[in-house]
Each structure stands twice: as structure tokens, then as C-alpha cells.
Amino acid sequence: MEQEQFVHIYDQREIICSETGKKEVAEMCEDEGGYMWEQCTGCGCHTWL
């Protein structure tokens, strides 16, 4: 049985995506392990913070 991972999204901001070069919205995420990252909602790339 797989353990569900709880990801907390608590901020959104506009970024210039490093993959596409376009303006995208990034969500700031944190999982229960305390890892934080920003995920681009356009292409799905993410940046560890």
C-alpha cells in the first residue's frame, strides 16, 4: 500500500519559467518532510528552495 504524500501549497507567484522563457505561475510547495520547492504550473518543472 502506498503512503500518500501531503503537499502543502501556500503561495503562488508569477515567474519567468527557466524552461519555456514565458511568464508562468509557480506554486510554492512544502511536503511533510519539510522540503520546499516552487513548481511551475505551465510546464511542471520545479526548483528546490
Whole-prediction pTM: 0.74
Instruction: Profile the chain (49 residues) by mean pLDDT over runs of 10 residues.
Output: 78 94 96 94 93
> For residues 19 and 43, is the Cβ–Cβ distance under 8 A?
yes
pLDDT score at 3 = 64
Segments making up each domain of the chain, as ranges:
7-48
* CA–CA distance, 25 with 44 (Å, rounded to integer): 10
